[in-house]
Structures are given as structure tokens and as C-alpha cells.
């Protein structure tokens, strides 16, 4: 993250692309360090958007409360930054219970998941993020834990091995994944509720931005919040990150907490984000394709040209360019659309 020095001016404010992309929907280290991601809505009502998901969750929560049962295991899937973790906390809150949090890559050994499950109390929620990344042994232990609230453990080795069964409290597992297809069928089948978390509309993002701006004490006008919403790729995490960077700019460069549309544009300019929400890596990508004229270009050549790895290009850069109609993927390679060409031709100097 760029360090903000006291004698900063508009031009110093840019970020180097390799350090951080403001438009990346994954959590970045600055957010983890400062717990910025933890500024979350405190009730389902405050959770903006996802109306269908919220109303079916509401019914499931009320039904299990009436029956005095724990909620069925729930799988939330959708892109990073859309609110899966937030929903898990809200579900626990609505169920009047605690939410324990783990991420699948951190559950390495069988004893990690056993420890987690033995520590659960009746009715509590266990949230496992990136659940598609669980290893096989952990997954197998989860099967009986989810189905029968029982742990089947093997103690000792070889001939001396014995099986032991331990009953565990009835808990609710909430799994979150960005890759539904990577979850094995036996694990998937043990979830009772499935919810897709969708991208947000501009109006919903605008509301999220307005609510958050109140929390961090800045005064944002209507046009300014809509402008931010428009370029946030349907993703609250990106919207809130933009908002924090705009606040930095406003407070450090302009010495104000009042943010207009004009100030938003200036701030984003200083971060090299343009009116479409594209950053310098997006534009370099488009320029490279433009140089190839109308020839389809393979992903590996693009990655080599940009000096980035191909999966980052494929999963992080391209989806949004496709979504806004600048790019198409063909069997022979990537191609710019007329819209994409027009856009990149209008950017004369790489911003
Ligand atoms: P995920 O787990 O899907 O990656 P998070 O739950 O961590 O996403 O959400 C990212 C950020 O966006 C958090 O700061 C969260 O408070 C905020 N956020 C996500 N969805 C909403 C929403 N519907 N309303 C308000 N804030 C939201």
C-alpha cells in the first residue's frame, strides 16, 4: 500500500500495480491488518440487497427457532467480497448464537478439525471459508459430523488401530466457496440449504457506500456515491475500498470530509482508476490486445506480455472486461470488441 506522506501531491498518490489492485475483490493485507473487513452490517435488515436469499434465510431461521433446532448446514457460494462471511455472522446473530470462523487451508491436520468440532457448543455456527479447499481427510471427518453429529476417529496405527466414536453437539456448518464445482459431491450433499450470493446493483452498492460513509464520518453526496457504486464491479468489498481511498485523498490532499462527485473523480484519477473503474493493468491488457490488431491472442502470450501469471489474468482481469463488453474469449484466443477498441483508442497516454 502506498505510504501517504505529509507533503503528498496529486501525482504522488498513484499506486503501483504489482503492490495492490484496488479493484481486486479478495481481501488485501491492509484490510486484514486493520480489521477493516470487520465493519459489517449488524442485522439482516442492515444487510443491503440479496432480497431472495434473505427472505428464504429468514424462513429457515424462523422455522428452526420455532422447532428449537439448529439451522440446517448452509452453503453460500459466489464471488469474493459479496458478503458470504458477513451473512454467516448475521445468521449466527439471528439464531442468537456464536459464530466460530475457520478457513479451509488453515485446517491442515485431522486434529485441527477435531479440535474445532469438539470445541463447538449446542446450536453454534461453524463458518468455514473457501470450503472447496479442505483436504480429503478433513472432509471425511466432516461427513459424519455433519450428518450424525458424530466423530469417527481412528486411534493408533496398524494392528493396534482402534475406532472410536465421539458424539458432538448439534452445530450448523456454514461453508463459503467461490468455486461450487470444486466441492466434492459427498460434501455438497450434506448441506441442506444452498444460497448463491449475487452481484449487487448500482443502487444497492450506493446504499452500502452511504451507510459506510456515515460510519467513517464522511459526508458524501448522492452523485458521488453513485459514481463510486458504478465502478465497483457489483462488489461491496471493492466499493468500500474505493470509499476508503477517496476518504484518504479527501483528508490528506484536500483537507476535507465533504466529498463531491468532482472530488471522487480526482481521487480516482490519482489512483489511475478511470470513469469505467478500470485500472492501469486493465488498460495495459486492452492496449496489448489492440496492438495485435484483430488477431485473437492466447492467454499465455498476454500473460507473458504483461509479466503476470495467466491465472491472475484469467480470473481477476478478464471477467470484468468481458462483463462490460470490451472482450470476448474465442476458441482461438482473446479478442477486443468494437467497444473495447473504441475505449482503449480514446486513452492516449496510458492514463
Ligand atoms: P466474502 O466473505 O463474500 O468475501 P465479506 O462478507 O467479507 O465478503 O464482505 C466484504 C465487505 O463488504 C465487508 O466489509 C462487508 O461488511 C461488506 N458487505 C458485503 N455485503 C454487504 C451488504 N449486503 N451490505 C452491506 N455491507 C456488505
Which of the residues 24, 74, 84, 206 is marked catalytic?
Answer: 84
Q: Which three cell numbers stand for residue 157?
A: 496405527
Whole-number Å distance between alpha carbons of 68 and 255: 54
Looking at residue 127, its pLDDT comes to 98
Pick 13-32+200-270's CATH classification: 1.10.8.60, 3.10.105.10, 3.40.50.720, 1.10.357.10.
Answer: 1.10.8.60
Looking at residue 24, its pLDDT comes to 77
**CATH topology assigned to domain 280-346:** Arc Repressor Mutant, subunit A (1.10.10)
Q: Ligand 1 test: best mutation among 43, 82, 83, most atoms within 8 Å of CB? A: 83
Ligand 1 atom closest to residue 49's alpha carbon, by position in its atom list: 23
Looking at residue 236, its pLDDT comes to 95
Whole-number Å distance between alpha carbons of 349 and 345: 10
Longest dimension (CA), the chain: 74
CA dihedral for 214, 44, 200, 241, sign (positive or negative): positive
**CATH topology assigned to domain 50-196:** Rossmann fold (3.40.50)
DSSP string across 241-270: HHHHHHHHHHHHTS--SEE-HHHHHHHHHH
Residue 287 and residue 350 in contact, taking contact as beta carbons nearer than 8 Å: yes
Question: Which helix (H) or strand (E) segment is 101 a member of?
Answer: strand 99-103
Looking at residue 156, its pLDDT comes to 76
Looking at residue 347, its pLDDT comes to 85
Give the start-end residues of each E strand in 137-232: 150-155, 162-167, 172-177, 193-196, 219-220
Residue 312 and residue 274 in contact, taking contact as beta carbons nearer than 8 Å: no
Residue 233 and residue 80 in contact, taking contact as beta carbons nearer than 8 Å: no
Looking at residue 164, its pLDDT comes to 87
Residue 6 Cα to ligand 1 midpoint, Å, equals 32
- What residue ranges do the domains of the chain occupy? 13-32+200-270, 50-196, 280-346
Looking at residue 63, its pLDDT comes to 96
Which of the residues 85, 97, 138, 235 is marked catalytic?
Answer: 85
Which of the residues 21, 100, 237, 334 is marked catalytic?
Answer: 237
How far lies 90's CA from each of 97, 127, 171, 198, 203, in Å?
10, 11, 16, 17, 22
**Burial label, 288 (beta-carbon count in 10 A; 0-12, 13-18, 19+):** middle
Burial code (b: 16+ CB inside 10 Å, e: under 16) for 72-103 equals ebbbbbbbbbbbbbbbbbbbbbbbebebbebe
Ligand 1 atom closest to residue 37's alpha carbon, by position in its atom list: 14
Residue 164 Cα to ligand 1 midpoint, Å, equals 40
**Burial label, 153 (beta-carbon count in 10 A; 0-12, 13-18, 19+):** middle
CA angle at 93 for the pair 87 and 95, rounded to the nearest 5°? 105
Residue 29 Cα to ligand 1 midpoint, Å, equals 16
User: Could you list the pLDDT tens digit for every one of the 351 residues in the chain?
Assistant: 322 222 333 333 333 345 567 877 776 666 555 555 556 788 888 899 999 999 999 999 999 999 999 999 999 999 999 999 999 999 999 999 999 999 999 999 989 999 999 999 999 999 999 999 999 999 999 999 999 999 988 877 777 788 889 999 999 999 999 999 999 999 999 999 999 999 999 999 999 999 999 988 899 999 999 999 999 999 999 999 999 999 999 999 999 999 999 999 999 999 999 989 999 999 999 999 999 877 899 999 999 999 988 888 988 899 899 989 999 999 999 999 999 999 999 986 555
Looking at residue 34, its pLDDT comes to 57
Residue 48 Cα to ligand 1 midpoint, Å, equals 10
Looking at residue 169, its pLDDT comes to 94
Amino acid at each position: 500500500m502506498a505510504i501517504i506522506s505529509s507533503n503528498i501531491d496529486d501525482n504522488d498518490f498513484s499506486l503501483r500495480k504489482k503492490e495492490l489492485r484496488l479493484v481486486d475483490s479478495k481481501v488485501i493485507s491492509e484490510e486484514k491488518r486493520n480489521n477493516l473487513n470487520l465493519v459489517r452490517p449488524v442485522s439482516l435488515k442492515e444487510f443491503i440487497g440479496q432480497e431472495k436469499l434473505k427472505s428464504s434465510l429468514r424462513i429457515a431461521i424462523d422455522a428452526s427457532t420455532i422447532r428449537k433446532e439448529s439451522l440446517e448446514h448452509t452453503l453460500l457460494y459466489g464471488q469474493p467480497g459479496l458478503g458470504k462471511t458477513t451473512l454467516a455472522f448475521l445468521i449466527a446473530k439471528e439464531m442468537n448464537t456464536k459464530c466460530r470462523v475457520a478457513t479451509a487451508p488453515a485446517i491442515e491436520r485431522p486434529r485441527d478439525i477435531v479440535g474445532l468440532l469438539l470445541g463447538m457448543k449446542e446450536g453454534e455456527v461453524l463458518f468455514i471459508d473457501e470450503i472447496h479447499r479442505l483436504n480429503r481427510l478433513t472432509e471425511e471427518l466432516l461427513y459424519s459430523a455433519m450428518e450424525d453429529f458424530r466423530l469417527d476417529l481412528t486411534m493408533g496405527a496398524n494392528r493396534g488401530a482402534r475406532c472410536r466414536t465421539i458424539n458432538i453437539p448439534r452445530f450448523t456448518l456454514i461453508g463459503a466457496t467461490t468455486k461450487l464445482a470444486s466441492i466434492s459431491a459427498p460434501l455438497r450433499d450434506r448441506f441442506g440449504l444452498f444460497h448463491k450470493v449475487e452481484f449487487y446493483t448500482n443502487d444497492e452498492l450506493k446504499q452500502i457506500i452511504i451507510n459506510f460513509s456515515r460510519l467513517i464520518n464522511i459526508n458524501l453526496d448522492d452523485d458521488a456515491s453513485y459514481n463510486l457504486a458504478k465502478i465497483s464491479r457489483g462488489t461491496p468489498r471493492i466499493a468500500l475500498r474505493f470509499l476508503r481511498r477517496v476518504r484518504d485523498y479527501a483528508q490528506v490532499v484536500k483537507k476535507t470530509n465533504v466529498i463531491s462527485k468532482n472530488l471522487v473523480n480526482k481521487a480516482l484519477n490519482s489512483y489511475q482508476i478511470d470513469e469505467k473503474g478500470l485500472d492501469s493493468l486493465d488498460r495495459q491488457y486492452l492496449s496489448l490486445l489492440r496492438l495485435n490488431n484483430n488477431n485473437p491472442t492466447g492467454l499465455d502470450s498476454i500473460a507473458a506480455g504483461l509479466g503476470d501469471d495467466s491465472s491472475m489474468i484469467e480470473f481477476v482481469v478478464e471477467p470484468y472486461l468481458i462483463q462490460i463488453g470490451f472482450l470476448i474469449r474465442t476458441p482461438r484466443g482473446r479478442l477486443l470488441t468494437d467497444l473495447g477498441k473504441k475505449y482503449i483508442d480514446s486513452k492516449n497516454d496510458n492514463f
